[in-house]
Each structure stands twice: as structure tokens, then as C-alpha cells.
Amino acid sequence: MSLLVVGSVAFDSVKTPFGVAEDVLGGSATYFSTAASYFTDVKLVAVVGDDFPEKHVSFLKSRKVDVEGLQRTAGKTFRWKGEYGYDLNEAKTLETHLNVFEGFKPEVPESYKKPDVLFLANIDPVLQREVLHQVERPKLVACDTMNFWIGGKRAELVRTLAEVDILLINEGEARELAGEPNLVKAAKAIQGMGPSTLVIKRGEYGALLFGTDYVFSAPAYPLESVFDPTGAGDSFAGGFVGYLDNMHNFDEKSLKQAIIFGSVMASFNVEDFSLNRMKSLDYKEIESRYREFRKLTLFDDIA
């Protein structure tokens, strides 16, 4: 099958209690594509400036990510600078320079227009909808969003969600979008907006999957070393959606397995800065950690 992602490619500067990384490769579509590439073929639509090094393009190609849709525009690439304290669940944004990303108008190449699965990464909901209307209706449409769009473009976001099958957001965003503090009630409200499936990412506390008539909870993997949580949510989405595309199946069993594979990819991502851990990853490690996740949640029934 084929997976199309539309989102950002960026440079990140990150400080955590465990180190500093300056101008390293980042962006929602970059993390997503890298994680998903371990499961399926990925086509990428994004924009970078003329300062974007060819070595980063070569890395994406090495992961067999199709970069025909990567636009190069005169100007500087999107840059984000942030800092984490010992609570690694939340970043403090220090600087954001949209640069060429500010005028980003996604253009889907002709060869991309029949994707089996489409992932709309965290961009303006109007642009997400425009991408949807540039392609033939995929078998599955998944998307991400954030509180900036929930608060600033709510009506447009709701219009987009009406055309989406799966929404992936964190618990704060779920509560804000639904206007409901209880996550179970919030999930029902969001599903009423369009997505039949909702994934709520909970950082170090795992993830929740709300289907049409079931709920599934997955833990986070207990790690000894967490260096940088930047991109963890996008890596989770890449593992989750990439696995679904690979399976050619979107039933309850596949969705539950996909949640674990998403958690696996996020757990690897946070072990180093930028995509350093993902670059050295071997698929056997992914399978091994999937089995470790299964052990975390396996227990006997009442005697």
C-alpha cells in the first residue's frame, strides 16, 4: 500500500536536563516519515528553504521516503527552539520562526494522488482539507492537530474533522476540543464530530484508543534513559499509521497492535536527540520491544 504524509520539515534547537542540540533535523513530517518507513512506503509533502542541507534529503531517501513532494523555496527553513525541564511531558517554546513554512501551500504531485492512507500532520486545518481535496479519497484518513488550531480556527478544524477517520491528539487537546474534562466523555464528543477512532497520546503515561464500541489502553515503555521527547508524538503517529498501512486492515485487532507499534517507535525516539536513535534502529529491535510491551500488559484471568 502507499502512505502519504503532509506536514513540516524543520530545524530544532532543544535543551533538556540531559544535554543540548542545536539546529538538528526535526519537523512533524520528518519524525512521522522516519518512523512509518520501518513499516511501509512513505510519500512526503513539505517545504524547506534553500538553506536545507542535501544530507538531510539523502537521509530521508535512505529510509526510502519518496521526496518528490518536498518543495524547496527561496528563504530559510522553519526553525523551532524549545526547552524541557525534568517534567518531559511539556516543552517550553523559546522561539518559533516559520520562515518558508508560513507561506506553505501543499501541492500533491500527480504520482501521489491515489494514496491508500493519508496522514495530515499538524498544519492549518484549512490546508489539511485542501490536501484531502487534491487526492482521490483514501481508504483511511488520519490527522493530528494542536491547541493553536483548536483555539484559533475551531470552526475550520471541525469542518476538517468531518472528513477524517482517525484523530490523534494529546489529552489536553482532547479536553479543549470537546470542552469536557472527562476523557471518556470528551472522546464521545470528538467522535461525534466525524472521526470514528480517536487516539489520545498521554506521554509517559501511554495512550488511549477509543473505537466505535471499545476502549483500549496501552502503557508507555519504562525507559532508563530519556534524552529528548521532541517528536515523540509524531514518531508515535508514524508507527501507528505506518503499521496500519502495512497491514491493509483497519479493524479493532489491527488498531490495537498499531497503538503498541506507535508506542514502540516513540520509546525509541526519546532515547536520543533529533532522529539519532531512529537512524541507528534495526527492525529486530522494534519487534523485540513490541514483545516487551506485550509482557507489560499480559496477566491471567481471575481463578
> Quick one: cell of 8?
513540516
pLDDT at 256: 96
pLDDT band at 4 (very low <50, low <70, confident <90, very high): very high
Residue found under cell 506536514: 7
Return mean pLDDT, the chain: 94
Q: For 219-245, write each residue's pLDDT tens digit.
A: 988 887 788 999 999 999 999 999 999
**Residue 187 covered by a domain:** yes
**Element (DSSP H or E) covering residue 35:** helix 28-36
pLDDT at 160: 97
Mean pLDDT to the nearest integer, 46-68: 97
Beta bridge partners of 80: 12, 96
**Residue 139 covered by a domain:** yes
Q: For 163-214, write each residue's pLDDT tens digit.
A: 999 999 999 999 999 999 999 999 999 999 999 999 999 888 899 999 999 9
pLDDT at 204: 81
**Residue 184 covered by a domain:** yes
Rounded to whole angstroms, how far apart are CA atoms 147 and 246?
30
Residue 286 pLDDT exceeds 80? yes
Range of the domain at 110: 2-297
Residue 74 pLDDT exceeds 90? yes
Contact 70, 56 (CB under 8 A): no
**Residue 164 covered by a domain:** yes
Mean pLDDT to the nearest integer, 6-33: 95
**Residue 141 covered by a domain:** yes
**Residue 303 covered by a domain:** no
**Residue 302 covered by a domain:** no
Which has the closest alpha carbon to 90: 153, 21, 208, 173? 173
The total of structural domains in the chain comes to 1
**Residue 289 covered by a domain:** yes
Say which CATH number the domain at 225 has. Answer: 3.40.1190.20
